[in-house]
Amino acid sequence: MGFIWAILANVEPAFRTVTDASDPGIRVLMKAPAATADIGIALLVAFALRDRPRWAVAGAAVILLHPAVIDVSAWWGQYESVYLLAALVATILAINGRNGWAAAAIAISVMTKPQALPLLLPFAAWFWAAGGWRAVARASLVGAAVISGLWLPFIAAGGPVDYLRNLGTYQNEIFNVLSLRAWNVWWLVQEAAAGGAFIADDVAIVGPFTLRHLGYVIAGILEVAVAAVIVRDPRPRTLILGLASGVLVFFAFATQMHERYAYGALVFLALLITQPAGRWLGLAFGAALTLNLLAAIPPTPEIGAMLPVAGALGVAGSIGMLAITYAAVRWLAAGRTDRVAGAAPRGP
């Protein structure tokens, strides 16, 4: 993000010191990276599906025209698409046997936003399937080298330490609640126990073991299960669906989730548009995600009145998200042999 903002500051010097986004020019400049990344993701989806031209156009259109994408990037100005652009590059490289380059790309993704962390285990499983622990070690070294290179200009100013301190502040002091309007299992808990009001996730349940730890344990177990399927069946379809499932599992069961943290599943499911199950799953997830986004931070008061984030809609949306997560994991475990975009892996 530091590199991106440095580029923006060179395009418009006022960007270096501005603290008020009321200037339309600054607002457009701030949102430009996400919008540009959306275009890049659409082109990559079309490239991955290039052997099925009609589906390639449809997949690109899903990214460019989906209301959830427009809401997150063009309206809200969040940079989810930036880290997902790097993650999608990593995915396409991996399914085409370029695991070293894939490791570099996923390292960039993780260093862009920590929301990319649920993608690490599926990629590690893919590397393991390609060459065992040596392939994982090689990918880890490549990733570590890329991360070190990215941080090099900031080390003298204490950048890495400040970054970790900032993450800790957000996790422990600002966003330390069960669900930040994300429709998941913890939103159901907040609805049942507090009528939709926030509940701290650092409440101890057994000794020092808190609700936050419980969420991590559940999500971690399911992430390992997803990774195990990828190891057992290392095909492009499995990696793609495994990445989508990993995002959904973390969103559904970890605490401190924002509504947009499920966004990554939309990108990966776009690659499965050639399959009927992928289309239905993508359609259902896209609808649920869009409703969650609009209800959590309504663009207008009228939309907020129509879509209250709490109450019956939030309960139904949370149950729907959990059902979609279950459907994705079940489809992954089924090990179907439907044809998917991308070539067969050629090894490390």
Residue with the two structure tokens 């893919």: 126
Residue type, 247: V
CA atoms within 13 A on the CB side of 323: 11
Q: Is the pTM of this model over 0.85?
A: yes
* pLDDT at position 85: 98
Phi-psi region of 257 (alpha: psi -120 to 50; beta: other; left: phi over 0): beta
Q: Is 57 exposed, middle or buried (0-12, 13-18, 19+ CB in 10 A)?
A: middle
The pLDDT assigned to 49 comes to 97
Phi, then psi, of 181 in degrees rounded to 5: 70, 20
Q: Please report which helix (H) or strand (E) contains residue 276, including its range.
A: helix 276-296
Whole-number pLDDT of residue 241: 97
Rounded distance, CA 174 to CA 342, Å? 42
pLDDT at 345: 39
Three-state DSSP class for 257? Answer: strand
Residues 6+ apart with CB under 8 A from 211: 178, 186, 199, 201, 202, 203, 205, 255
43, 25 contact by CB (below 8 A): no
SS3 category, 158: coil
Strand partners, 247: none
Contact call for residues 99 and 139 (beta carbons, < 8 A):
yes
> Hey, is 205 helix, strand or coil?
strand
Indicate the pairing of strand 257-258 with strand 179-180: parallel
- Which amino acid belongs to residue 289? L
pLDDT for 21 equals: 67
**Residue boundaries of the structural domains of the chain:** 2-15+23-334
Residues paired with residue 181 on neighbouring β-strands, in sequence order: 258
Tell me what pLDDT residue 16 has: 82
Contact 175, 165 (CB under 8 A): no
Q: Per residue of the chain (348 residues), what is the pLDDT tens digit?
A: 889 989 999 988 888 887 776 788 888 999 999 999 999 999 999 999 999 999 999 999 999 999 999 999 999 999 999 999 999 999 999 999 999 999 999 999 999 999 999 999 999 999 999 999 999 999 999 999 999 999 999 999 998 999 999 988 888 888 999 999 999 999 999 999 998 899 999 988 888 999 999 999 999 999 999 999 999 999 999 999 999 999 999 999 999 999 999 999 999 999 999 999 999 999 999 999 999 999 999 999 999 999 999 999 999 999 999 999 999 999 999 874 444 444 433 332
Residue 4: both structure tokens together:
């991106």
Pair of tokens at residue 114:
């920590």
Q: Are 143 and 106 a contacting pair, CB within 8 Å? A: yes
- Count of CA atoms in the C-beta half-sphere (13 A) of 55: 18
Task: Determine how β-strand 257-258 pairs with β-strand 209-210.
Answer: unpaired
DSSP secondary structure code for residue 200 in this structure: B
Cα(195)–Cα(165) distance, integer angstroms: 33
Residue 5's nearest CA partner among 31, 24, 25 is 31
User: For residue 257, what are the β-bridge partners?
Assistant: 179
